[in-house]
Copies of this chain bind each other. A is one copy, B any other.
């Protein structure tokens, strides 16, 4: 698994597509290759759980990154360390605003996150940007895709951008993201963005771990609704129609009216908040600060009426059950006997040689026998 180790050099990475170098005019490396070699070759000292926790509580981003790498690792020994780190960080977590951001492809999510993020930093905030992308092999766990997408933010010391962990089951990726939130909060990040990459099932998972869920849309409503799964609009606390600039302004305003009408059809929210639809231009940084003030207004309102805390408690409960269910499945499907037999039974079921239930029963018997 190719996860970011906090020390990877962009120029040395063959996956780096951010710069085109003309053939024959090779630029000098910006880092002394010998020094880099020595640096990369240096065996990293093993940290103890206390070192991780201290580093995180001190806001040390390198140590935070290494702890997140432990969370993302599937090795049992890493998982054991990760769980201890999380346990020690839990008392310091929970004090951030968690914002879920999703949107159709082309809605300009990266630009929007950059623009919104810069407002938060300018207000003195500390921002962590995480992503959930279980289905895609796009970034292969490398930070490069995300870092080059958000150049300005990634240069800021109060911003921490962590790419989606490499592909895995949605349950697993979601759990890891939620654990990463705890560490980021313990490290002092007071605003956490959870971005869904691509359009899929991840939105429900993200919705279940954030305080506010923002849906980013494009002007010209109608056809692009196709790109977004039904049910997602219903989860949104706000819709921001991006790219409301130039010739798009009027279209964006029309779209706003359409979405407002559509939102009216939904049942009232538990939070007492009436979902809003706003237009903005992340490119020109117009209206983005309004979106941020709206989110802060939501946080204030729901903290006052008690929903903010109640919702977090419900989410914690939900994740306890989700984690249990996911681990039960892992234990089964990762079992060596099951790994060997599953394909055979699957084929039998596909060929109508046995029923789904009998196949399931026999596999379960084998599993519980050998456990």
Measuring CB to CB, which residues of chain A are less than 8 angstroms from any residue of chain B?
A: 83, 86-87, 90, 94, 175, 178-179, 182, 223, 225-226, 229-231, 233-234, 265-267, 313, 316-325, 327-329, 331-332, 345-346, 349-350, 352, 354-361, 363-364, 368, 371
15 contacts between A and B (CB under 8 A): A83-B358, A90-B354, A94-B352, A178-B356, A182-B355, A223-B265, A225-B265, A313-B350, A317-B350, A319-B360, A321-B360, A323-B356, A323-B361, A324-B363, A324-B364
Q: Shortest CB–CB separation between residue A252 and chain B, in angstroms?
A: 21
Which one of B225, B327, B355 contacts A360 once the chains associate, using CB atoms below 8 Å? Answer: B327
A319-B356 contact, Cβ under 8 Å, with A225-B265, A267-B226: yes
Q: Shortest CB–CB separation between residue A215 and chain B, in angstroms?
A: 14
A265-B226 contact, Cβ under 8 Å, with A320-B345, A332-B324, A364-B324: yes
Which B residues are CB-close (under 8 A) to A175?
A: 357
A332 to B331, CA, bound (A): 12
CB <8 Å contact, B349 and A316: yes
A319 to B329, CA, bound (A): 15
A56 to B46, CA, bound (A): 67
Query: Closest residue to A333 on the B side, CB-wise?
Result: B324
Assembly of this chain: how many copies? 2
Q: Shortest CB–CB separation between residue A341 and chain B, in angstroms?
A: 12
Which B residues are CB-close (under 8 A) to A83?
A: 357-358, 361
Q: Shortest CB–CB separation between residue A343 and chain B, in angstroms?
A: 11
Q: Which of A230, A327, A356, A371 has the most CB of B within 10 A?
A: A356
CB <8 Å contact, B346 and A320: yes
Query: Closest residue to A346 on the B side, CB-wise?
Result: B317
A323-B360 contact, Cβ under 8 Å, with A265-B225, A317-B349: yes
A179 to B360, CA, bound (A): 13
Query: Closest residue to A328 on the B side, CB-wise?
Result: B328
